[in-house]
């Protein structure tokens, strides 16, 4: 099922995933219009789209996703929404009210606008972290959508993303202003990597500061399965096609899907090394402290920060939940998305790795210069 002639809105269009999705839509679908919603849409990004836009109209909507009038204007006349925008925060420097406002309230504003403006399809970009891991660090190996896992979410990020996902799926089947029905689904990508990934750039910078030795914060056996950004964009396109297809729309609507690919399972820290080893980086052999001691240090840091909170807000560089996240085996299959959405990873691990390393190589001199200038 093609999206030819459709009007779509992409929130977070200038983010890591948003840019890839906009490019993919221009390359593969002769859409009537693509609306790019973000707090700021970079002129340079718009220039890169000129050669591949064809007859598709590109519209820019700069503003706050919590502004209902603004969002409603952006949704007017659209047929599909790709909702990618959110605040991503695992160290928790962002105030909870701000994160809740963007991640939950912003999603609710979009859903309400869809109903008011009779938008028929809504794809929500969720995250693996709505699943866990739990505070015990209980592993999941090759999990599926049917996996039962006991977890009380502790990160503000994962809690707000979970609530936003639930609201999205609960909105499936809502009656639209024109009498139609809204169809929704949620995608839960594993750790997204690729050319343009700011997390990889961050770890490269830390490695440069440490004399080209990458910091180890994950046990080697704590395997996760990263997913290439290009494949996540493909999954979003397939979800939109599925929600448009009247034969499978009802079967897909109201469901969530894990999105991974054929990237070999590896720990977070070792994955950084896999991508940076050819650029001259080595990696620490051991954690900076034994895992149990690392938890104790984080516990006392958290207590200290709470005691100081009435006077000053200090964010510890590490917390127990982050240590758990980095050291829990947590892998998931994409087979249900393959079966029901028709999702197949387009980029092999070899190609994804090559593209990512080439981008990191292009950024390495800039990072070295930036760090040199800041010393």
> For 115-171, how does the pLDDT look when each residue is reduced to its tens digit (9 = 90+)?
999 999 999 999 999 999 998 999 999 999 999 999 988 888 999 999 999 999 999
Tokens 């660090």 correspond to 137
Per DSSP, the three-state class of 258 is: strand
Name which of 24-28, 116-120, 310-314 the model is least confident about: 310-314
- Res 96: pLDDT: 85
- Res 44: pLDDT: 83
What's the average model confidence in pLDDT over 53-69? 91
User: In terms of residues, how long is the chain?
Assistant: 375
Cβ atoms of residues 66 and 46 within 8 Å? no
Cβ atoms of residues 118 and 145 within 8 Å? no
Closest CA to 358 of 266, 275, 234: 275
Question: Sign of the CA dihedral 62, 67, 72, 73?
Answer: negative
What tokens were used for 48?
């890169």
Is the predicted pLDDT of residue 251 greater than 80, yes or no?
A: yes
Closest CA to 108 of 63, 159, 166: 166
According to DSSP, residue 197 is labeled: -
pTM of the model: 0.94
CA 79 to mean position of chain CA atoms = 23
Beta bridge partners of 9: 35, 81
Q: Fold for domain 7-194+227-262+331-347?
A: Rossmann fold (3.40.50)
Is the predicted pLDDT of residue 46 greater than 90, yes or no?
A: no
Q: What percent of the chain has pLDDT over 70?
A: 99
Question: Sign of the CA dihedral 68, 70, 76, 80?
Answer: negative
Out of 100, 124, 157, 191, pick the active-site residue: 157
CA 110 to mean position of chain CA atoms = 18
Is the predicted pLDDT of residue 351 greater than 80, yes or no?
A: yes
- Res 54: pLDDT: 79
Q: What is the mean pLDDT of the chain?
A: 93
Cβ atoms of residues 129 and 155 within 8 Å? yes
Cβ atoms of residues 74 and 112 within 8 Å? no
Return d(Cα 128, Cα 90) in angstroms, integer: 13
- Domain limits of the chain? 7-194+227-262+331-347
- Res 92: pLDDT: 66
Could you confirm whether 228 is annotated as catalytic? no
Give the list of residues 6+ apart from residue 267 with CB closer than 8 angstroms, or none.
Answer: 218, 219, 220, 221, 222, 223, 224, 326
């Amino acid at each position: 099922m093609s999206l030819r002639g459709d009007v779509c809105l992409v929130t977070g269009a200038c983010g890591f995933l948003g840019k890839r999705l906009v490019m993919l839509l221009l390359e593969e679908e002769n859409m009537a219009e693509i609306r790019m919603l973000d707090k700021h849409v970079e002129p340079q990004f718009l220039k890169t789209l000129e050669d591949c836009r064809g007859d598709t109209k590109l519209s820019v909507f700069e503003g706050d996703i919590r502004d209902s009038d603004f969002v409603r204007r952006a949704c007017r006349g659209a047929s599909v929404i790709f909702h990618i925008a959110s605040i991503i925060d695992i160290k928790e420097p962002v105030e909870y009210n701000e994160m809740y406002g963007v991640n939950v309230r912003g999603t609710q504003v979009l859903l309400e606008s869809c109903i008011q403006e009779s938008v028929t399809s809504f794809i929500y970009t969720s995250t693996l972290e709505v699943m866990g891991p739990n505070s015990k660090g209980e592993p999941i190996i090759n999990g599926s959508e049917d996996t039962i896992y006991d977890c009380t979410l502790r990160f503000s990020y994962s809690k707000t993303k979970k609530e936003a996902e639930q609201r999205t799926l609960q909105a499936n089947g809502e009656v639209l202003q024109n009498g139609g029905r809204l169809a929704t689904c949620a995608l839960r990508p594993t750790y997204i990597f690729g050319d343009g990934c700011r997390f990889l750039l961050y770890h490269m910078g830390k490695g440069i500061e440490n004399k080209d030795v990458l910091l180890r914060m994950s046990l080697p056996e704590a395997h996760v399965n990263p997913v290439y950004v290009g494949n996540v964009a493909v999954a979003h396109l397939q979800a939109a096609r599925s929600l448009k297809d009247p034969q499978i729309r009802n079967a897909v609507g109201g469901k969530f899907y894990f999105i991974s690919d054929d990237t070999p399972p590896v720990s977070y820290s070792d994955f950084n090394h896999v991508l940076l080893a050819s650029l001259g980086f080595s990696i620490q052999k051991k954690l900076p402290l034994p895992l149990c001691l690392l938890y104790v240090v984080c516990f006392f840091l958290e207590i200290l920060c709470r005691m100081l909170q009435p006077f000053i807000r200090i964010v510890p560089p590490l917390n127990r939940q982050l240590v758990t996240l980095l050291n829990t085996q947590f892998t998931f299959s994409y087979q249900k998305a393959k079966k029901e959405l028709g999702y197949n990873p387009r980029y092999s691990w070899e190609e994804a790795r090559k593209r990512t390393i080439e981008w990191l190589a292009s950024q390495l001199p800039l990072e070295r210069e930036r760090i040199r200038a800041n010393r």
